[in-house]
Amino acid sequence: MSILDILNDRQREAAKQIEGPVLILAGAGSGKTKTITHRIAYMIKELGISPYNILAVTFTNKAAKEMKERVEFLAGEDGKRVMLSTFHSFALRLLRIFGDRLGYSSNFTIYDVDDQKKVIKDIIKSIGRKDDKNLKERDIASKISKAKEDKITPEEFESLHQYDNGKIVAEIYRRYNSVLKNNNAMDFSDILVNADKLLDLKDILSKVQEKFIYIMVDEYQDTNKIQYEIVNKIASKYRNLCVVGDENQSIYGFRGANIENILNFEKDYKDAKVVKLEENYRSTSVILDAANAVIKNNKSSKDKNLWTNRGTGEKIIIEECNDAREEAQYVAMEIIKGKATGKRYRDFTILYRTNAQSRMFEEKFLRENIPYKIFGTVSFYQRIEIKDIIGYLSVINNTDDNLNLNRILNVPKRKIGDKTFEKIENFAKDQNISIFEAIGRAHEIGDLSANLKTTLLDFYNMLKDFIILSEQMPVSELYDEIVKKIGYKDYLTSSYDDYENRIENIEELKNSIVELEKVLENMTLRDYLENVSLISATDDLDGEKDYVKLMTIHNSKGLEFPVVFLVGAEDELFPGAKAEFDPKEEEEERRLCYVAITRAEDKLYITYANSRFMYGQIDNFRSQSRFIREIPTQLVMTNKAEVKPKPAIRNSYDNSGFKKMITIDDLNKRAKDFPYSKGEKVLHKKFGMGIVKDVNDKKVTINFVDGTKEIAMAVADKFLTKA
């Protein structure tokens, strides 16, 4: 009996094609992971190919972990020897081994987006442009990353951007590269760019090619220019390249993903074998028919047609709501009804186009006591208290990491300000030593008080002790030593009103370290920091915990849910306004809709509102998304007479004929009553039970046990529930 017997005909055809280039066009829910993992096991167990010669790359830790587990189950111990990782993890392995060829030591630090912004902010300040509102750290970080991934140098960037601050951004780009190199640090773009540079060195490329004779790439439609070049350089010798993907799920163009990579694979490899996987095992035929109908409007689609044996299923429910608050009310009530019929909260997922849409649902779920979790907003690892502890660990691993050194120097408070750090920096430059070494020689730095010199030396010696301990004990025990030695819990208690939540967070960090130690045998500090740096927005999604999941459609890719609410399906929101003027933008938005629809297993709701706050104003003339109108009417059910655009109000035009935007103040003046009344009991998240003393359109005044508090009406719903 063959390992491949369990596959369907098309999957088996794809898995059996081992030699030469292969393109597997795998539709949503068509069992691509099953096909890939059985293909690898077949290569090892039945064809006798060495697992050490197989490289398989994907995009998320979650996907890589699932694939590893399946391969190990199918191929046993040999399965553990396959290099199966994310693109960034693979690139990091190359850089840890060969990074010295580019001037990096093996313990380099990886900077995340917040770290990038901090470096850029300091550079803007140093060149005297700190008050320039046109220089936003996040925008500049994005431009630098894009330039790196497109192999554009600072000099080329300057010549390509003669206007729009091109010269100053190019200078920031130059200095940014210099800071990272001096700190022995890389950002996420550097990881791929530098790995690609290593493969330009013939001796290294030859070693990599001889090791990885068979290459598989998952989610090929999401590859960018650098990833494309890395893959094709390694594959160029033996040409045993198998790429798996779905052009209809290419939704990361804004991150640099190039759909042309998958569309042009047959041009790049004219002898490629092409196999389409079209049988879907996830969704009902109603859901698939809707997805097929929407995506066929894209010119970039390769004419796949998803089908299933699961049965017809329930019709898609289209719900028209007056406004976003009613939309949240409708979704909450449907969840409550579903719960009453035996469903669990974890069966329900809400997908939206932008993170800002989650607020109404959060407020409503709090009122209705519906447990929920939001994925992909503020990452656990971006919280201040987590960044502090990770900062200590990063400096212990890499003492050249001046960004994190500056962060922890005054955490907890040591009365070390920016001016002191500037003096340390100047001393380090004068002596041609690192800032860490300069702190260790604080007694030589003039114009510092005796107390400050002692504080700096104590800090230096403490870190030296931690470095020694990091080589002798597990990361979890090192964590304990750091938290205890610096008195971090006491610091949180004295510094933050919500200290209890913050202490819970750092305790959860300890749990994450212990869990990873169980998975990675003999995990080093460097191993841990590397894993933390590559965590994605939905890696902590736990299918067993009973809560409603809320996330953007982008974050839902690769996942599946029994019941999906696709909310905010209105033109100018989904698709966004740019789609009106850019056909490529409209096609990517349509692919995003296809992804959203195909996340649903059993039931799909699509909601839209006639009125919604947008950019601080209310638009009373919303219309349902064009994507709704692309779904055949026989597949949908609605409480309204028909599915078509229908504005809520038609009597608020100004004399010029343009839409009149109603402001928040207008609404307050028109309000007949307020959400709270005098004498009413309310419950505040922080202050506890209280009684409303006074209320108007600006604020609500409440008597609590600890005194009277005034809460702005605009944010009252976030903190108050009626008792």
| 103 has binding-site annotation | no
Look at the chain and count its residues.
723
Summary count for the chain: helices (H), strands (E): 30, 22
| 85 has binding-site annotation | no
| 487 has binding-site annotation | no
| Residue of 37, 227, 249, 624 with catalytic role | 249
Residue 472 CA to residue 449 CA, distance in Å, equals 35
Residue 533 CA to residue 527 CA, distance in Å, equals 10
One-letter-per-residue 3-state SS of 280-303:
CCCCCHHHHHHHHHHHCCCCCCCC
- Look up 138 and say whether it is catalytic: no
- Look up 325 and say whether it is catalytic: no
Q: Give the residue from 623, 700, 389, 342 showing the smallest Cα distance to 528.
A: 389
Instruction: State the maximum Cα–Cα separation within the chain, in Å, rounded to a whole number.
Output: 82
* Cβ pair 506, 483 in contact under 8 A: yes
- Tokens at 603, concatenated: 């039931």
Residue 679 CA to residue 310 CA, distance in Å, equals 56
Residue 396 CA to residue 525 CA, distance in Å, equals 9
| 26 has binding-site annotation | yes
Residue 457 CA to residue 424 CA, distance in Å, equals 12
* DSSP per residue, 587-630: HHHHHHHHHHHTTEEEEEEEEEEEEEEETTEEES---B-HHHHT
| Residue of 10, 32, 276, 549 with catalytic role | 32
- Tokens at 72, concatenated: 């190990």
| Residue of 12, 599, 603, 622 with catalytic role | 599
User: Backbone phi, then psi, for 49, in 5-degree steps?
Assistant: -75, 135
Q: Across-strand partners of 266?
A: none
Give the other-Cβ count within 10 Å of 722's Cβ: 12
Location of structure tokens 């909310």: 567
| 577 has binding-site annotation | no
Give the other-Cβ count within 10 Å of 363's Cβ: 16
C-alpha distance from residue 6 to each of 34, 245, 309, 605, 644 (Å) = 10, 21, 17, 34, 45
- Look up 219 and say whether it is catalytic: yes
| Residue of 16, 33, 34, 68 with catalytic role | 33
- Look up 93 and say whether it is catalytic: no
SS3 663: strand
Q: Across-strand partners of 109?
A: 185
- Look up 33 and say whether it is catalytic: yes
Residues 6+ apart with CB under 8 A from 111: 119, 180, 185, 186, 187, 403
| Residue of 219, 320, 323, 334 with catalytic role | 219
What's the DSSP call for residue 315? Answer: P
| 245 has binding-site annotation | no
- Look up 472 and say whether it is catalytic: no
| 301 has binding-site annotation | no
| 31 has binding-site annotation | yes
C-alpha distance from residue 117 to each of 67, 139, 164, 618, 623 (Å) = 34, 9, 19, 32, 38
| Residue of 72, 218, 222, 327 with catalytic role | 218
Residue type, 151: K
Report, as residue numbers or ranges, the catalytic residues: 32-33, 218-219, 249, 599
Q: Binding site for ATP: what residues are annotated?
A: 26-33
Q: Binding site: what residues are annotated?
A: 26-33
